[in-house]
Amino acid sequence: MKSTVYLLTGSNLGDKKTYLYHAKQNLCRMVGELLAESSVYESEPWGFVAENTFLNQVLMYETTLTPNEILQTIKTIEAETGRIHSKNGYSSRNLDIDILFYDSITLNSTDLTIPHPLLHKRRFTLLPLSEIAPNLIHPVLNMTVKQLLKKCEDKGTVNVKIMVLQEIVRKQV
């Protein structure tokens, strides 16, 4: 059975564009077919102070993997970039991948919560998500992504940075 999963990729260290591009390619290879992708957005760090801004992108995949299988895949991809998960809260990172939605399920386990518990509070998540799925309904809050964005109190700066990530990375290779 095929499901739809929405993922948020982010990076604020090193060659951020290349990290996002390779994450997308690895997710295509390991998770499923890429159905849609947002532009890449630049945003200030959220929840902590850092010198570098983030690049973020939302990706929508069709998958046969379960949520937990996707989580394990994400951890593998992050580890391949040298990602070390901080136990002391938020920190700068080469690559971060979050599961935002998986179909319209709700899941709350010790390892994984779906929908992502903070997505409705983060402008850097809602803006790219609204670009590809403005009418997607949050199964807990019973609001569309577009409505969540209008209601979001996060006033952090988020700007479209790159329209086509693939072309920029290709030119660098």
Q: What is the pLDDT of residues 29-77, one digit of tens each?
A: 999 999 999 999 998 877 656 678 889 999 999 999 999 999 999 999 9
CATH number at residue 27: 3.30.70.560
The partner residues of 60 in beta bridges, in order of sequence, read 6, 36
DSSP-derived letter for residue 47 is S
What is the pLDDT, as a whole number, of residue 173? 45
Write down the mean pLDDT value for the chain.
88
What is the pLDDT, as a whole number, of residue 114? 97
pTM (two decimals): 0.89
Cβ-proximal residues to 62 (8 Å cutoff; 6+ apart), any chain: 2, 3, 4, 32, 33, 35
User: Is the dihedral angle over the CA atoms 39, 19, 16, 21 positive or is it negative?
Assistant: negative
What is the pLDDT, as a whole number, of residue 9? 96
142-172: per-residue pLDDT in tens?
999 999 999 999 888 888 776 555 554 555 5
The count of structural domains within the chain is: 1
The confidence band for 141, taking pLDDT boundaries of 50, 70 and 90, is very high
Domain holding 34, by residue range, is: 3-172
